[in-house]
Every structure is written in C-alpha cells, then in structure tokens.
Amino acid sequence: MEIIVRNENKKDYGRVEEITRKAFAYHERIERGGIGCPYEHWMVNELRKRDGILELSLVATVNDEIVGHIICSKAEVRKDGNILPVLNLGPISVLPEYQRLGIGKALINELILKAKDLGYGAILFFGRPEYYPQFGFVEASEFFISDSEGYNYDSFMGMELIPGYLSLAKGGRFYESDIYNDDLNRESVKKFDAEFNRALIFN
Ligand SMILES: CC(C)(COP(=O)(O)OP(=O)(O)OC[C@H]1O[C@@H](n2cnc3c(N)ncnc32)[C@H](O)[C@@H]1OP(=O)(O)O)[C@@H](O)C(=O)NCCC(=O)NCCS
C-alpha cells in the first residue's frame, strides 16, 4: 500500500472534515467531549479560518483517496510578559478502516520535517501518551512548561524542532488558539455538526 502525504487543497476540505468526524465518532470520545457529538471536524473547519497553519495542513492518500489528515495551529508559551510562539499539533485523523497501517505515522513524520523546514521552533500539544513518544515527543514537564493553569500530566507533550528553543520560555505556560475555549464554542459545534450531517445525507 502506497501512502502519499501532501498539502491539503481547498477542494479537499469537505472530505477532510468527513474523515475527521468519522475518526473521532467513537463513544468514549464523544462522552468525554460532553457536547453530544464529535467536535474535531468543527475544529479543523474553524482552524482554517483562524490560527490554523495551512502549510501544515497535510492529507494522506491511498489510491488517490484521502484517508488521513493532520493540522497544526499557532500557540504560544507565556512567561513574565514574554511570548514564545510554538506549534500546537492536532487534530490528527485516520479513517477507522485505515487505522494501524502506518498512515498516522507517515503524517506525523512529514509534519515534523515540514515544520522544521519552515523554521518553527517547537511543538506542544495534548494527545495520547501511548502513541506520540515513538516520534520523539516527551512530556512538556521535561521542558519545564506547564499548561495554562500551571499543571503537567503525561498527555501534555512536546518536541523541540530547534534544539534549546523551549529553554527560552522555561517555567512558562502553554496557551492554545481561542477556538479551544469550550464555553465559547459549544453551541457553534452543535450547529455545525447538525448542518454537516444534513449535508452528508442530501449529497
Ligand atoms: C491515533 C491515530 C491518528 C493513529 O493513526 P494510525 O494510522 O492508526 O497509526 P499508525 O498505523 O501510524 O501507528 C503507528 C504505530 O503506533 C501504534 N499505534 C497506533 N495507534 C495507537 C494507539 N491508539 N495507541 C498506541 N499505539 C498506537 C501502532 O501499533 C503502530 O505501531 P507499529 O510500528 O507496531 O505498526 C488514528 O488511530 C486515529 O485517527 N484515531 C482516532 C482519532 C484520534 O484519536 N486522534 C488522535 C487524538 S490524540
């Protein structure tokens, strides 16, 4: 099976949101999200409008069909009034029937290479602690960086793309794009998902 990773184009947007929804439409995740529907397809849609980095929105194809996607967005580490820009990774999605075939791996490896090429200093994000260490991600606590509330846990991870970059913000706190603010977005997500489903049914 040949996996090709390339940049996302405008004409891919609908398909990418569809596979994102499918990848995250499992019971445990929806329960945890507390909205009653998956929300990651809304995130991808919203990130393209604000804070998403389009050069780091990549799709994986097999036989010319998009089966996976990853995107990064702008985030920052704040420390004593200073701001260090970093990348936030995610969402990453692989269509359920294509999972565990190396597609996520191909997307993440390409993303790291591209982000380095573009000159970004570091990636920080929240994700599955059992999956990401294979790519070189370590707990953010190793860089002495905490979440926006001052906490650390194993699902908060990072990687320097430029060696020593995160030491510039040692002791700092990580802030993601405003789109991750649940209170702000709950209703937008529900509305987006309802319209998304209608569009799928009638297409
Ligand atoms: C998580 C996800 C992106 C992984 O992509 P994938 O294409 O299925 O994973 P890969 O085949 O590239 O996995 C690479 C390696 O990681 C391992 N792996 C895959 N998923 C894993 C998981 N959930 N936990 C632990 N290890 C995992 C695989 O066994 C594989 O190891 P191998 O070298 O033995 O083959 C994909 O399963 C997905 O879209 N899941 C639903 C959405 C989601 O949870 N996204 C991430 C939220 S943080």
Residue-range definition of the domain harbouring residue 141: 4-190
List 72's β-bridge partners, or say none: 53, 89
Q: Does a structural domain hold residue 65?
A: yes
In a domain, 197, yes or no: no
CA end-to-end span of the chain: 29
Asked if residue 199 belongs to a domain, the reply is no
User: How many Cβ atoms sit within 10 Å of the Cβ of residue 99?
Assistant: 14
**If we measure between CA atoms, which residue out of 118, 122, 126, 117 comes closest to residue 167?**
122
**Token digits for 99?**
């999972």
**What six digits make up the tokens of 1?**
């099976």
Residue 176 inside a domain? The answer is yes
Task: Specify the CATH number for the domain of residue 96.
Answer: 3.40.630.30
How does DSSP assign 52-119, residue by residue? Answer: EEEEEEEEEEETTEEEEEEEEEEEEEEETTEEEEEEEEEEEEE-GGGTTSSHHHHHHHHHHHHHHHTT
Q: Ligand 1 pocket, 130 CB below 6 A?
A: yes
37 within some domain = yes
Give the distance (Å) from ligand 1 centre to CA of residue 107: 11
**In this predicted model, what pLDDT tens digit does every residue of 22-57 receive, in sequence order?**
999 888 888 877 888 888 999 999 999 999 999 999
Stated pTM of the model: 0.94
User: Ligand 1: which atom is nearest the Cα of residue 130?
Assistant: 25
Ligand 1 atom nearest 108 alpha carbon: 12
* Residue 23 belongs to some domain of the structure: yes
Q: What is the pLDDT of residues 50-99, one digit of tens each?
A: 999 999 999 999 999 999 999 999 999 999 999 999 999 999 999 999 99
Report the amino acid identity of residue 78: R
Report if residue 201 sits inside a domain.
no
Q: Is residue 117 part of a domain?
A: yes
- Give the number of domains in the chain: 1
**What local confidence, expressed as pLDDT, does residue 164 receive?**
97
